[in-house]
Amino acid sequence: MTDRYRFEPSQSAPLEALPHKTEPSACEPAAPAPAARAPHLVIEAGRGSLWVGLRELWAHRELVYFLAWRDVKLRYKQTALGALWAVLQPFLMMVVFTVLFGRLAHVPSDGLPYPIFAFAGLVPWQFFNNAVGQSGTSLIGNSQLITKVYFPRMAIPGAAVGAALIDFAIASLILFAMMTWYGIAPGAGIAMLPPLIVLLAIFAGSVGMWMAGMNVKYRDIKYVLPFLLQLWMFATPVIYPANFVPAQWRWVLMLNPLTGIIGGLRSALLDKPFDWPAIAAGAGLTLGAAGFAVWSFRRMERFFADVI
C-alpha cells in the first residue's frame, strides 16, 4: 500500500469536542405530554339550615300530599270498618273515661257534660298521638325509598302528620254532632280554631320528626315512644280541666305546649273563656320545638342512607 492512502494525524493542536444538540429522528415517537389533571369533585351533604330545609319541603309539597294519601289508603286497606276507626278510638275512650272519671271519680268538667268535655279533648289528643306515633317510625318503614332516590327526608314524617289530619277531620264531624246533641253552639271564639289546629299540627310534626331521626340511630325509640305518649296524655289536661291541678303546680302544666293548645281548642269549640297565658306559652314552645326539630333533623339526615 502506497503512502498516499495513509492517514497521517496533524501535528496541530488537538480538536476539542464542541457541544451539540441532537435532533430527534422522524422515526422516533415524540415524548408524551404530561397528563392533564382530572377535576376533583367533592359532594357534601347539606348543612342543618332551617330555612333551606323548609324551602325544600315546600318545593316538594306535592310529594307530601301523595305520601299522605298513600298512608291513608294503606292504613284502611282490607279493613271492615275503614275510616270509622278514626271515630271509634276516641269515642270508646270517651265512654271509658266518662264512666271512670265522670261518674265514679266525679272529676269536674268546667260546667259541661263530661262526655262532650272529654271528647273535645280526646279528638285533638288522638290526632297528636297518631301523628307522633306514625311519623316517629316512618323513616324506618320507608328505608328502601330513602336509599334509592333523593328527596327532602322531612317529607316522610310530614306525610304521616298529613294522614293523621284526615282522621282528625273525620272525628271532628262526630264532635260537632255531639255538640248539636247537647245544644252547645260555638261563639266568636271559633275564629281561634284554625290557628290552634295549625299550632297542634306543627308541634306534632316537630316531635314526630325528631323522634323519626332518633329512631334511625337508636331503635329503642319504637319501644319508648308508645309508653311516653301514654304518660304524656295524663300529663295533659285532656280528661280533666287545667284548674283541677293545684295552683302552685299549674306552672308545670304550662311547660307542656299541649296544655294551652288543647285547652284553647276546647274553649273555641265549647264557647269557654280562653287561657291566654297558656296559649301564648304553648305557641312559643311550639315554634321553639319546630326550629330545633328541623335543625336537628337536617344534621341527622346526612347519615340516614348509611345507617338505615
Q: Report, in angstroms and rounded to the nearest whole number, the Rg of the chain calculated over CA atoms.
A: 36
> How is 231-278 classified by DSSP, letter by letter?
HHHHTSTTSS-GGGS-GGGHHHHHTSHHHHHHHHHHHHHHT----HHH
Tell me which of 150 and 20 has the higher pLDDT.
150
Q: For the chain, give every domain's residue range.
A: 49-307
Q: Rounded to 10 degrees, what is the CA torsion of 109, 112, 113, 114?
A: -20
pLDDT in tens, 288-307: 999 999 888 888 887 776 67
Tell me which of 109 and 147 has the higher pLDDT.
109
- Look up residue 6 and give its DSSP letter: S
41: cell is: 369533585
Confidence category of residue 145, pLDDT binned at 50, 70, 90: confident
Query: Distance (Å, rounded) from C-alpha 184 to C-alpha 178?
Result: 9
Mean pLDDT of 192-213: 94
Mean pLDDT of 275-286: 94
> In percent, how much of the chain has pLDDT > 70?
81
Q: Is the pLDDT of residue 2 over 50?
A: no
Q: Is the pLDDT of residue 108 over 80?
A: yes
Global confidence as pTM: 0.79
How high is the pLDDT of residue 71?
Answer: 82
**Buried (b) or exposed (e) across 262-274, using 16+ Cβ within 10 A?**
bbbbbbbbbebeb
